[in-house]
Structures are given as C-alpha cells and as structure tokens.
Chains A and B, each alone.
Chain A
Amino acid sequence: MKNQLRIVRAMENLTQADLAAAIGVSRQTINAVEAGKYVPSTVLALKMARVLHRTVHELFELEETD
C-alpha cells in the first residue's frame, strides 16, 4: 500500500512527533507507516486523516500487489 503521509505532513507543517502526539501513538508508529513498514488499522488511518484534514483515500492508495 502506498501513502502520501510524509508529503501531506510536510504540507501541514507537522513533524512526526507532532503528528504522533496529536493522534496518541508513538513517533515510531508514524515513521513505520510512512516508510511502508506497517499498515495502520482503520482507526489509526481515520485519525491520521482527521488530523491532516484529508480523506483516507487521499492519504493511502492500494497497490496491485495488495
């Protein structure tokens, strides 16, 4: 699964730590999601979308291999 998290986070002027604190997860989690190492749960994806003022579809995109 691809994601635009890093780009959108930069557009919103947020660090990984800021985003993690706003959502209530660790910075490692944000880093792992951005690096594509971890697929977030539905709840986490929705929280990310809410904090970044985007829809989930704008943040995450399915790949052919998914």
Chain B
Amino acid sequence: MKNTLLLPHSFKWIGLILSAGFLALCIATFFYDYSSPLLATARVPHTNGGDDNLTDETAISGLIISLLMIGFSREQSEDEYVNAVRLQSFQIAFIAHYSLLVAGIFTVYGFNFLMVMFFSFPLLIFVFLVIFYWKLKVVPYLLKRRTA
C-alpha cells in the first residue's frame, strides 16, 4: 500500500535549512532574550496582556513545522522497507518522548517545568528523526563494516 501522506523529497532539504534557522532563533529567543522588532505586535487580548512580541511563538512554531517537513518527506527511494522503518521509528519516538515527559513531570518544578513543556513540542518529531535516520543509514553501515 503506497503511503500518500508524504511530501516530495525536496521538502527534506527545505526543512533542514529552515530548521537550522529556526533552531538558531529559538536559542537566541529563549537563552539570550532576543525579540525581533519585526514581530512586535499590539498586545494580544487572549494572552491576558502578557505578550506583545511573537518572536518566541514564531521560533518554536517554525522549528516544529520545519522538522515536520523533514520527517514527512519522501526518501529518495521510498519503498515498503522505508515505510516499515518509519512506522517503527514513530512508535519508539512516541514511547521515548512520553517517558521523558513523565520523568520531567516528577523531576522538574517551577518555571523550569514550563520550559520542559515548551520544548516537549518539537521533541517528539526530533526524536523520531534521530531514530529513523539511525535505523535507515547508520545501522546498515555498521552491519556492513562488521561483515566486511
């Protein structure tokens, strides 16, 4: 059965470039309190007057979307084995992500917990990408070296 929920292969490279940029923006925003004047806006009513700049929202959303582009783009040679590895990687990433989250719930408190929750959004897709490409590229290489 063909997987029709995937983006064209070119989105992988677009996602890689964008994710690098948005990751840099996330680091600048969350660790160095950077706010872009271009993303300043009138106080948003539903934030109870707490937000007048969308830099942090843009950074984290951009990172999530660009990582999704990488994760949901076709491989160059997409076949049933790649689909099976992708499914298995999602399962492992799902379990790993929620295990980390539960560990964070019991070990991190106060304002730091808010940061844990905030960074848990892109963490699932990031863990999936690590596992997927590890299984697809690194494991066959290590097996080949072992049998050579």
Question: Are B77 and A31 within 8 A (Cβ)?
Answer: no
User: Which chain A residues in 8-25 approach chain B with CB under 8 Å?
Assistant: 24-25
With an 8 Å Cβ cutoff, the count of chain A residues facing the other chain is: 13
Question: Are B79 and A29 within 8 A (Cβ)?
Answer: yes
CA distance A13 to B82 in the complex (A): 26
CA distance A28 to B82 in the complex (A): 9
* B-side interface mostly: helix
Contact flags B73-96 to A (C-beta < 8 A → 1, else 0): 001010111101000000000000
* A51 contacts chain B at the CB level, 8 A cutoff: no
Question: Are B143 and A26 within 8 A (Cβ)?
Answer: no
* A1 contacts chain B at the CB level, 8 A cutoff: no
Number of A-B contacts (CB under 8 A): 30
CA distance A44 to B10 in the complex (A): 27
CA distance A25 to B79 in the complex (A): 6
Chain A neighbourhood of B80, CB < 8 A: 25, 29, 40-41, 44
Interface residues on B, range: 10 to 19
Chain B neighbourhood of A35, CB < 8 A: 143
B81, closest chain A residue (CB): A29
Chain A neighbourhood of B82, CB < 8 A: 26, 28-29
* B140 contacts chain A at the CB level, 8 A cutoff: yes
* B17 contacts chain A at the CB level, 8 A cutoff: no
B147, closest chain A residue (CB): A35
B144, closest chain A residue (CB): A31
* B136 contacts chain A at the CB level, 8 A cutoff: yes
Chain A neighbourhood of B140, CB < 8 A: 28, 31-32
Chain A neighbourhood of B136, CB < 8 A: 28
Q: A25-B77, A28-B81 are in contact. List 16 more A-B contacts (CB 8 A).
A: A24-B79, A25-B79, A26-B75, A26-B77, A26-B81, A26-B82, A29-B79, A29-B80, A29-B82, A31-B140, A31-B143, A32-B81, A32-B140, A33-B81, A38-B84, A44-B80
Nearest 4 pairs of A and B residues by beta carbon: A26-B77, A29-B81, A25-B79, A38-B81
